[in-house]
């Protein structure tokens, strides 16, 4: 036993000196080693992203900033606000950027994400998923005590009464929106009469303060072709729009009509009374969204630029027509369409194997040798981000900062 712990100590001692072992020609700073260059989130040395050990999650700052700017300019021009969904990035540093560039708040999917965001200074938070269990309701009410900008969603009379009782027990009056179903039947109460009755009940309950409605139409976000997407979105939001009108006529508060996402950010404002869009993926883009087409290009959605990539290394080049990399399902997920090799043509990427990715060539713009690094545009950004503890913020190929994905794994 003693022998084992001695050798472990020796190993750890040696491991601590690894930066000095790495010959400059091989390079490969692990995430731990990168921390030694990290001062208050900024990197104090001149390190190329190509020197990072792989797989590594990278975000291109220039592209990210252009995405933030394009979103904010568009929604402002259209007379609505942005309330971006932090379930995409799970990263307080990015939430702060969104607030600094004009967003009125952020959304989270889970109460645990909201807690992390609040701990890191974000205090305008809409939890878009109704909390239905006593433990989650209690946590949300506790958070509401400290975070005055917390808004919760509810979609049933029973749940509203539970929320009100928990709010009273916690000594708060909780801000609430009624979650209205656009037709996907995922969450939300039916629009019209059922939603109105719920709105009136929320308005009456002593522990709750009604702010309006939320209606997220997930089924329209990835509809291919701008006009088709626009037609479906406007059709499916019409009932929610009528509902908010009935709220208004009944004297209920209608200051919030929140919904929409990256696929409909430039459509949702056409629905009357709509106030703010809950965009998530627009920051990073991904292969799924690239494929939906936009108003200027029917095949590729170019409104936002892919800013998020996975850096990977080729580990085998011995076989004709293919190469193997170190980024498989655990680095990329197995979402489809598969990741895309950035900047190259004539090759396909697959990440179906746990530890390995496969490149297959089909008249490729280049081929790879063992040790070569390449970048992948991610398949679906949200679940990919949730695989990493940190992302590297890159400008002109240099690592500018390390951003902790503080809400990684916060799925409850």
Ligand X SMILES: Cc1ncc(COP(=O)(O)O)c(C=O)c1O
- Residue 218 or 343 with smaller CB distance to ligand X: 218
Nearest to 383 by CA among 328, 333, 309, 319: 333
Q: Which is nearer to ligand X, 220 or 313 (CB)?
A: 220
d(CA 251, CA 203): 10
> β-pairing, 124-127 with 149-154?
parallel
Q: How far is the CB of 243 from ligand X (least distance, A)?
A: 17
Binding to ligand X in span 366-405, by CB under 6 A: none
- Minimum Å gap between C-beta 263 and ligand X is 6
Q: Are 177 and 216 in contact (CB under 8 A)?
A: no
Paired residues of 178 in beta bridges: 154, 213
- Beta bridge partners, 60, equal 394
Angle at the Cα of 170 from the Cα atoms of 166 and 171, rounded to 5 degrees: 115
Compute the least distance from the CB of residue 142 to ligand X, in Å.
23
What is the distance between the alpha carbons of residues 182 and 186, in angstroms, rounded to a whole number?
Answer: 9
d(CA 168, CA 260): 32
Smallest separation, CB 221 to ligand X (Å): 5
Nearer to ligand X, 219 or 364 (CB): 219
End-to-end Cα distance, the chain: 39
Q: State in angstroms the smallest separation of the CB of 290 from ligand X.
A: 13
Q: With respect to ligand X, which residue has the nearer C-beta, 71 or 311? A: 71
Q: Which residues lie across from 107 on neighbouring strands? A: 85, 126
Query: Based on CB atoms, which residue is closest to ligand X, 160 or 292?
Result: 292
Cβ contact 91:111 at 8 Å? no
User: Cβ distance 150 to 140 under 8 Å?
Assistant: yes
One residue of 108, 164, 254, 262 binding ligand X per CB under 6 A? 262
Residues 49-108 that bind ligand X (CB under 6 A): 85, 88, 107
Kindly determine how many residues on this chain lie close enough to bind ligand X according to the rule CB under 6 A: 14
Binding residue (CB under 6 A) for ligand X from 98, 124, 128, 339:
128
Interface with ligand X, residue 159, by CB under 6 A: no
Segment 276 to 335, residues that bind ligand X, using CB under 6 A: 278-282
Residue 317 neighbours by CB under 8 Å, 6+ apart: 323, 324, 367, 368, 369, 370
| Min separation Cβ 152 and ligand X, Å | 13
Q: Which residues of 143-176 are buried (b: 16+ CB within 10 A; e: fewer)?
A: bbeebeebbbbbbbeebbbbbbbbbbebebebbb
Q: Which is nearer to ligand X, 314 or 384 (CB)?
A: 384
Encoded one letter per residue, x for contact with ligand X by CB under 6 A and - for no contact, window 205-234 reads -----------x-x--x-------------
Among the listed residues 261, 293, 294, 306, the single contact to ligand X using CB under 6 A: 261
CB of 246 to ligand X, least distance (A): 23
By the 10 Å C-beta count (0-12 exposed, 13-18 middle, 19+ buried), 234 is classed as middle
- How many CB atoms are closer than 10 A to CB 180? 29
Nearest residue (CB) to ligand X, 143 versus 279: 279
The residue among 151 and 402 lying less far from ligand X, judged by its C-beta, is: 151
Identify which of residues 85 and 139 has a Cβ nearer to ligand X in the complex. 85
Nearest to 377 by CA among 263, 287, 294, 283: 287
Site for ligand X in 105-124 (CB under 6 A): 107
* Stretch of residues binding ligand X (CB under 6 A), selected from 43-51, 62-70, 274-282, 318-326: 274-282
d(CA 288, CA 308): 13
CB of 262 to ligand X, least distance (A): 3
Min separation Cβ 13 and ligand X, Å: 45
Nearer Cβ to ligand X, position 183 or 280?
A: 280
- Spatial distance between the Cα atoms of 75 and 47, rounded to a whole number of angstroms: 36
From the list 199-207, 272-280, 309-317, 352-360, the region that binds ligand X by CB under 6 A is 272-280
Residues forming contacts to ligand X in the complex (CB under 6 A) are 85, 88, 107, 128, 216, 218, 221, 261-262, 278-282
């Amino acid at each position: 036993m003693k022998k084992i712990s001695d050798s472990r100590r020796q190993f750890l001692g040696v491991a601590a000196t690894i930066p000095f072992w790495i010959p400059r020609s091989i390079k490969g700073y692990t995430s731990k080693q990168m921390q030694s260059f990290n001062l208050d989130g900024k990197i104090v040395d001149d390190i190329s992203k190509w020197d990072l050990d792989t797989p590594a999650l990278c975000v291109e700052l220039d592209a990210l900033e252009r995405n933030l700017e394009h979103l904010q300019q568009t929604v402002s021009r259209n007379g609505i606000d942005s309330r971006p969904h932090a379930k995409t990035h799970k990263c307080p540093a990015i939430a702060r950027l969104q607030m600094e560039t004009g967003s009125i708040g952020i959304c989270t999917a889970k109460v645990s994400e909201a807690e992390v965001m609040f701990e890191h200074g974000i205090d305008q938070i809409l939890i878009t998923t109704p909390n239905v269990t006593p433990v989650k309701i209690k946590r949300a009410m506790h958070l509401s005590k400290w975070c005055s900008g917390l808004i919760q969603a509810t979609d049933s009379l029973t749940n509203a009464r539970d929320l009100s009782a928990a709010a009273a027990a916690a000594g708060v009056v909780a801000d609430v929106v009624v979650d209205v179903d656009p037709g996907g039947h995922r969450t939300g109460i039916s629009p019209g009469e059922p939603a109105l009755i719920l709105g009136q009940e929320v308005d009456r309950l002593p522990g709750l303060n009604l702010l309006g409605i939320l209606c997220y139409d997930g089924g329209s976000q990835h509809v291919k072709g701008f006009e088709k997407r626009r037609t479906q979105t406007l059709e499916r939001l019409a009932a929610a729009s009528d509902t908010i009108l009935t709220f208004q006529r009944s004297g209920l508060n209608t200051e919030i009509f929140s919904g929409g996402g990256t696929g409909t950010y430039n459509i949702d404002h056409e629905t009357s009374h709509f106030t703010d869009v809950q965009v998530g993926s627009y920051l990073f883009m991904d292969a799924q969204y690239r494929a939906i087409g936009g108003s200027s290009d029917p095949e590729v959605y170019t409104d936002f630029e892919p800013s998020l990539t996975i850096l990977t290394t080729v580990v085998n080049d011995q076989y004709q027509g293919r190469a193997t990399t170190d980024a498989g399902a655990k680095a990329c997920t197995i979402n489809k369409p598969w990741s895309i090799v950035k900047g190259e043509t004539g090759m396909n990427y697959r990440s179906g194997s746990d530890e390995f990715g496969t490149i297959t060539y089909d008249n490729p713009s280049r081929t790879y040798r063992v040790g070569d690094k390449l970048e992948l545009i991610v398949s679906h950004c949200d679940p990919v981000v949730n695989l990493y503890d940190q992302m590297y913020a890159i400008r002109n190929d240099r690592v500018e900062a390390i951003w902790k994905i503080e809400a990684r794994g916060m799925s409850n």
